[in-house]
Amino acid sequence: MANEVMQETAAVNSENNENTIKLQKKDLISSWFKWICFGQTCYNYERMQGTGFCHSMLPIIERLYPKKEDRAAAMQRHMSYYNTENNWGAAVGGIVASMEEQRANGADIDDDAINGIKTSLMGPLAGIGDTVTQSLVKTIFLSIGCSLALSGNVLGPILFFIGMTAYALGVSYNAYFLAYRNGKTSITKLLRSGVVKNVSEALGALGMMVLGAMVAANIGVTTPLSFTIGGSEIVLQTILDSILPQMLSLIIFFVTYRLVVKGKKPTYIIIGMFVVGILGSVLSILG
Same domain, 127 and 265: no
Q: Which domain holds residue 154?
A: 2-207
Give the pLDDT band of residue 217 (cuts 50, 70, 90): low
Q: Which domain-ending residue is among 180, 207, 234?
A: 207
Q: Which residue has the higher pLDDT, 12 or 72?
A: 72
> Lowest mean pLDDT: which of 76-85, 162-171, 208-217, 244-253?
208-217
Same domain, 64 and 186: yes
In a domain, 200, yes or no: yes
CA distance 280 to 223: 9
pLDDT at 10 over 60: no
Same domain, 199 and 273: no
- Report pLDDT for 186: 61
Q: Which domain-ending residue is among 146, 174, 207?
A: 207
CA distance 142 to 149: 10
In a domain, 67, yes or no: yes
**What's the mean per-residue pLDDT of the chain?**
81
pLDDT at 172 over 50: yes
Torsion angle defined by CA atoms of residues 279, 277, 272 and 141, in that order, rounded to the nearest 10 degrees: 180
Same domain, 262 and 158: no
Same domain, 127 and 255: no
CA distance 168 to 271: 35
Given a contact cutoff of 8 angstroms between Cβ atoms, the answer to whether 70 and 30 are in contact is no
Q: Which residue has the higher pLDDT, 190 or 57?
A: 57
Mean pLDDT of 84-111: 90
Mean pLDDT of 197-221: 66
In a domain, 68, yes or no: yes
Among 14-18, 136-140, 145-149, 173-177, top mean pLDDT goes to 173-177
In a domain, 287, yes or no: no
Q: Which domain-ending residue is among 207, 239, 269?
A: 207
In a domain, 216, yes or no: no
Same domain, 263 and 170: no
Same domain, 77 and 18: yes
Q: What percent of the chain has pLDDT over 70?
A: 80
Q: Which residue has the higher pLDDT, 234 or 52?
A: 52
Same domain, 45 and 80: yes
- Report pLDDT for 142: 86
By residue count, the chain amounts to 287
Please write the tens of the pLDDT for every residue from 103-156.
Answer: 888 888 888 888 888 888 888 888 888 888 887 888 888 888 888 888 888 888
- Report pLDDT for 11: 42
In a domain, 213, yes or no: no
Q: Which residue has the higher pLDDT, 67 or 287?
A: 67
Question: How many structural domains does the chain have?
Answer: 2
pLDDT at 185 over 70: no
- Report pLDDT for 237: 77
In a domain, 215, yes or no: no
In a domain, 217, yes or no: no
Mean pLDDT of 2-9: 43
CA distance 28 to 175: 12
pLDDT at 158 over 60: yes
CA distance 132 to 124: 12
pTM beyond 0.85: the answer is no
Sequence-ordered list of residues with C-beta below 8 angstroms from that of 241, at least 6 positions apart, any chain = 247
Same domain, 155 and 256: no
